[in-house]
Amino acid sequence: MAESISALKNGEVEIEYKKSSQIKEIWRRLKRNRTAVVGLFIISFIAIIALLAPVISPYNPYEQNLNQRLLGIGARGHILGTDEYGRDLLSRLIYGARLSLIVGFCSVAFGLVFGVLLGLLSGYYKRLDGIIMRIIDILLAFPGVLLALAIVSILGTGIVNVIIAVGIWSIPTIARVVRGTVLYIKEMDYVTAAKALGESDFMILFREILPNCISSIVVYSTMRLATAILSAATLSFLGLGAQPPVAEWGAMASTGRNFIFQAPHLTLLPGFAIILIVYGFNSLGDGLRDALDPNLKNV
Amino acid sequence: MNREILLEVNDLKTYFYTVDGVVPAVDGVSFTISKGETLGIVGESGSGKSVTARSIMRLIPNPPGKIVSGSIKFKDEELLTKKDSEMRMIRGSKIGMIFQDPMTSLNPLFTVGDQIIEALCIHQNIDKKEAKEKAIEALRMVGIPSPEKRINNYPHQMSGGMRQRVMIAMALVCSPDLLIADEPTTALDVTIQAQILDLIKDMKNMLNMSVMIITHDLGVVADIADSVIVMYAGKMMEYGRAFDMFSNPLHPYTKGLLDSIPTLSMEGDRLKSIEGSLPNVTLDYKGCRFADRCSERCEKCFVEEPPLIKVNDSYVRCHKYLNRR
């Protein structure tokens, strides 16, 4: 534990406890996990690029230059070449990072709001459990991206609709994860003790149970971010998400496909970017799980 | 001594409806607790002690548990017909409760100060600063050194005994009239046990409250209780003043329990025990529940359940005393 023996006062050992000890402890454990550090590095790298996109990108990602179409990697003035309209690929990739992160975070946030609420309710109230879980089962019965595809085809194409679709698709699994944790936490003695102190159901749910679910929610959301970004890119690749000329990795890979023999980098580089971000979130999630799992604490 | 009655439990029945059938965990328990009285409930694991306590607090998980019948009167108010919201006003403020395992009874994510302040704020309309002072005062009261520093500790930074003191502080911070202690010393080592019992005794005198203490340790009862209930398989086997029970135990089960206490003089002998274990009780159970293990049983014991019989000032559930009246 983060105790530091500060001074000997009157022969007594004074032990100081720091309030932030938990966060430090998690950080310390995360640092020891190499994949987690790599993941964290990748995510920070992409996040910084996304934040500084207007500053660091060499060109406007939408500026067409038809004299310089389909340049290869290493071309003069365009390190990563240009696409079929002569737009700078590096700039488009940089702006694509923005979009991927926004779509990922927004859709997971959307899924969290509803998923956590449903999970809490169905885990805590046995009466609601049956109804909520059957609805969740129905949503889970749709294979993979198919549900998101169906939602997008109802709502229409576009980034906002992709966020909603991927968000809705995230609800059932998040609800399942939260419900499982609630079922475990609500049997803990401190929940009974809280009841014996006269706490209301609302307080027990949001003060005793929810805070103790946070670690599994954080871990799962991190992993879910990867899935959300991947499925948003998939939808764009299929032409249902971001519409041209928006610089989105999935959409870029999709249009680049037409030139796969003349300029394979148009498909490969956005694909590689997607792999990188998905790998980053997944390994960060793995590391967080190890760092936050109380059962592994003294390992 | 005719003191004012604080809690009156009458023919309480709490059943659990499981897949394997109905389990009468508490089957017709009646007792009273006067103001300032300490009642001990003893019995082995599964005898229904904790279920009795939780029934009073209405903390039986339903389903599978259900209070089937009986009445629980606290200050002449029936608790069993109260609405949930009314019951919440009683829990914590009028009846405090402490639990067996202090290691898991505190929320690991909040400082002990926050948790005591929380307990205060549920029932009293006070501002944060005042609540904090009261929390420090409560920690000092239960004997935690330098409470103004300890208030910022998380539960994992405290020892088991310390945490049980915090639990007691939380239960008593609203000065309840009744403290229910569900095996408060079971998870602690012997020296700490004595300290915690002393603390409960001190608090009881200081706040002038009644205590209901649940334990399987007769030593605890001898130390602290004015009257005792011996429970077996959901039934009251003996109920009387603690002094009477120790000097003149009536029920064969009580005798067996007292005989099982190891003494130093029996060096080298094997520890005495009551052979067998609790029966699987169902609703249509016939006869005395202790009959299988009883050393003084007769044929009648297997056929008919004995009623509670008054002997002197005590009550006992045994056929042996039926003819002696």
Nearest CA in chain A to B114: A207
Q: Is A237 in contact with A250 (CB distance < 8 Å)?
A: yes
Q: Is residue A6 part of a domain?
A: no
- Is A1 a member of any domain? no
Per-residue CA distances from B225 to B180, B192, B204 (Å): 13, 18, 12
Has residue A14 been placed in a domain? no
Q: Tell me the per-residue pLDDT of A29-63, one tens digit each, with 9 for 90 and over.
A: 888 888 889 999 999 999 999 999 999 988 888 88
Q: Rounded to whole angstroms, how far apart are CA atoms A28 and A248? A: 36
Backbone dihedral angles phi then psi of residue B94, each to the nearest 5 degrees: -100, -35
Tens place of pLDDT per residue across chain A (299 aa): 334 444 334 334 444 444 556 678 788 888 888 888 999 999 999 999 999 999 998 888 888 888 888 888 887 888 888 888 889 999 999 999 999 999 999 999 999 999 999 999 999 998 899 999 999 999 888 877 888 888 888 998 888 999 999 999 999 999 999 999 999 998 888 998 998 888 888 999 998 999 989 888 999 999 999 999 999 999 999 888 888 888 899 999 999 899 999 889 999 999 999 999 999 999 999 888 888 776 555 44
Angle at CA B46, nearest 5°, toward B41 and B48? 45
Closest CA to B217 of B17, B45, B36: B45
**Residue B61: count of CB within 10 angstroms of its CB:** 13
User: Nearest 5°: phi and psi at B310?
Assistant: -85, 125
Q: Print the domain residue range for A178.
A: 24-296
Kindly identify which residue of chain A lies nearest to residue B111, measuring between CA atoms.
A19
A190 with B108: Cβ contact below 8 A: yes
- What is the rounded CA–CA span in Å between residue B290 and residue B275? 11
What average pLDDT does the structure give for chain A?
86
**Do B314 and B240 form a contact (C-beta atoms < 8 A)?**
yes
A3 part of a folded domain? no
In A, minimum Cα distance to B115 occurs at A194
pLDDT of residue A10: 39
A152 in a domain, yes or no?
yes
Is A31 inside any structural domain? yes
Nearest to B105 among A126, A189, A294 (CB): A189
**Cross-chain Cβ contact B91/A198 below 8 Å:** yes
What six digits make up the tokens of A196?
């014996």
The pLDDT value recorded for residue B309 is: 84
How many distinct structural domains can be found in chain A? 1
User: What confidence score (pLDDT) does residue A135 get?
Assistant: 92
Touching check for A196 and chain B: CB below 8 Å? yes
Partner-chain contact B153 A189, CB within 8 Å? no
Residue A292: give its domain's CATH number: 1.10.3720.10
Coarse DSSP helix, strand, coil percentages of chain B, rounded to the nearest 5 percent: 35, 25, 40
Q: Which of B107, B146, B151, B175 to mutate to test the interface with A (most CBs of A within 10 A)?
A: B107
- The residue among B206, B224, B203, B207 whose CA lies nearest residue B215 is B224
Q: Three-state secondary structure along A18-32?
A: CCCHHHHHHHHHHHH
State residue A7's pLDDT score: 38
Residues lower than pLDDT 70 in chain B: 1-2, 266-268, 323-325
Ordered domains of chain B (ranges, CATH) = 5-94+176-264+271-321 (3.40.50.300)
Distance CA B111, CA A142 (A): 44
Establish if A127 touches chain B: CB-CB under 8 angstroms.
no
- Going by C-beta distance under 8 Å and a sequence separation of 6 or more, which residues neighbour residue B267? none
Question: Is A256 part of any domain?
Answer: yes
Position A13 in a domain = no
Angstrom distance (rounded) from CA B16 to CA B258? 30
Q: Which residues from B are below 8 Å from A when comparing CB atoms?
A: 57, 59, 63, 85, 88-93, 96-97, 99-101, 104-111, 118-119, 122-123, 149, 152-154, 156-157, 167, 170-171
What amino acid is encoded at A283 in this protein? Answer: S
Q: Which residue of A has its CA nearest to B124?
A: A198
Q: How far apart are CA B236 and CA B309, in angstroms?
A: 11
At B295 the three-state DSSP class reads coil
pLDDT at A111: 95
